[in-house]
Amino acid sequence: MSDDIGFGVIGLGMGKHHCMAIDKAPGARLVGVCDLDEERLKPVAEKYRCRAYTDYSTLLADDDVQVVNIATPSGSHAEIGGAAAAAGKHLIVEKPADITPARIEQLIEAVQRYGVKAAGIFQSRLDPLNNRIRTAIQEEKLGRLIGVHGHLPWYRAQSYYDGPHGSWKGTWDMDGGGSCMNQGVHTVDLLQWLAGRVKGVMAMFGVFAHDIEAEDQTVALLRFESGALGTLYTTTCCYPGYDQRITLYGSHGSITKDEGLLNSWRLVSDSERVEEQEMLALFGGDRHKASAAADPMAVSFDGHTQIVADMVAAIAEDREPLITLDSARHAVEIIHAIYESGRLGREVTVRR
Ligand SMILES: NC(=O)c1ccc[n+]([C@@H]2O[C@H](COP(=O)([O-])OP(=O)(O)OC[C@H]3O[C@@H](n4cnc5c(N)ncnc54)[C@H](O)[C@@H]3O)[C@@H](O)[C@H]2O)c1
């Protein structure tokens, strides 16, 4: 019998990326997959020669499954995660951990009560360029942060919302919103991971180019606890879909990038522009990473593989995973405040 950790995946849209990641990560073994939709379930179970379940409680009763990856619609994560924790399974939970801070809190309580480990998915935090930027900010290379800006001009055709698995997308009760909660949560998390907590927001949102309930375009002003101000723009209306743009301005320098491509790294301290040349050689030029700007499945599974490998290591070393659910909660707190601000038409404090 292999010593590899047994994994089970629930939800086989993005969950297929989890299967690829488990297949690739050292020390991990895919034991079973689960989906309500048998047309999605069968080919995946055949491809990986693993067990197939249509009812997640049966997967949770499988003793060979030690870790459950949850990739079902976002508004079901806390319920399924709570049941998995009660069954003694460790968890890897897709973003957002759930669609309200209160539900994420309930999930965290269940994880603590049953003594299991839980990881969130924010793969941008594992990106080497994002890590170099975060270190530069922590080392105060930019001086005092002044402006922190995230733009996500993505495109989704109406068929994305109309397809057989589209009906929950862009709804308040299962997606928790639209472009900001579903697509934008990565950008919101990245901004707060780089620049620290957000204490207040002022926002507008609406439905502009799709037949959906929640929103397909949101703009927000952000007030960071550090004193920096920022802007956030998320949409699924921008044909043909452009890469996420992050712009950081400090009192002693600026960094701008498009997805994984560094555009500029200008620091007052780098007067000979040596560091800039090094950074551009590593992360600039014409290198282009896979991006979901126009295609939701065009996400690399490298980040998911690292998160699976980290869970295997966290179990072996009995430590917390790199991306804790507690750290994954603030993005949802910020987005909640954004929607509340948009409804009220005034600045709203981000509640913990
Ligand atoms: N990390 C990323 O970059 C990334 C990208 C896309 C989606 N996601 C996240 O992944 C999750 C799923 O999104 P998606 O786009 O794959 O959605 P999807 O609708 O395509 O897939 C969800 C699957 O879950 C199944 N399902 C629903 N309820 C179930 C249940 N009770 N038991 C078993 N199966 C069930 C559905 O049949 C469907 O096949 C969402 O939380 C989304 O935010 C993350």
pLDDT in tens, 224-266: 999 999 999 999 999 999 999 999 999 999 999 999 999 999 9
CA atoms within 13 A on the CB side of 261: 13
Q: Is 55 in the pocket of ligand 1 (CB under 6 A)?
A: no
Q: Is 175 in the pocket of ligand 1 (CB under 6 A)?
A: no
Q: Is 291 in the pocket of ligand 1 (CB under 6 A)?
A: no
350 DSSP 8-state letter: P
Does the pLDDT at position 109 exceed 80? Answer: yes
The confidence score (pLDDT) of residue 288 equals 60
The confidence score (pLDDT) of residue 137 equals 98
Q: How confident is the model at residue 290 (pLDDT cuts 50, 70, 90)?
A: low
pLDDT in tens, 110-119: 999 999 999 9
Does the pLDDT at position 1 exceed 60? Answer: no
Burial status of residue 346 (CB atoms within 10 A of its CB: 0-12, 13-18, 19 or more): exposed
Q: Is 211 in the pocket of ligand 1 (CB under 6 A)?
A: no
Q: What is the pTM of this model?
A: 0.97
pLDDT in tens, 295-341: 888 878 999 999 999 999 999 999 999 999 999 999 999 999 999 99
Q: Is 14 in the pocket of ligand 1 (CB under 6 A)?
A: yes
Pairing of strands 217-224, 198-206: antiparallel
Task: Give the chain's length.
Answer: 352
- Distance, in Å, from the CA atom of 275 to the CA atom of 277, rounded to the nearest integer, reads 5
Q: Is 19 in the pocket of ligand 1 (CB under 6 A)?
A: no
Q: Is 69 in the pocket of ligand 1 (CB under 6 A)?
A: no
Q: How confident is the model at residue 287 (pLDDT cuts 50, 70, 90)?
A: low
Q: Is 74 in the pocket of ligand 1 (CB under 6 A)?
A: yes
Q: Cα(324) to centroid of ligand 1, in Å?
A: 20
183 DSSP 8-state letter: I
Look over the chain and give the mean of its residue pLDDT values, rounded to a whole number: 96
Q: How confident is the model at residue 294 (pLDDT cuts 50, 70, 90)?
A: confident
The confidence score (pLDDT) of residue 297 equals 82
Does the pLDDT at position 122 exceed 70? Answer: yes
- Distance, in Å, from the CA atom of 244 to the CA atom of 292, rounded to the nearest integer, reads 9
Task: Select from 14, 34, 126, 295 the residue to mutate for testing ligand 1; criterion: most ligand atoms less than 8 Å from CB.
Answer: 14
Q: Cα(281) to centroid of ligand 1, in Å?
A: 37
pLDDT in tens, 133-180: 999 999 999 999 999 999 999 999 999 999 889 999 999 999 999 999
Q: Is 35 in the pocket of ligand 1 (CB under 6 A)?
A: yes
Map residue 92 onto helix, strand or coil. Answer: strand
Q: Closest residue (by CA) to atom 23 of ligand 1?
A: 11
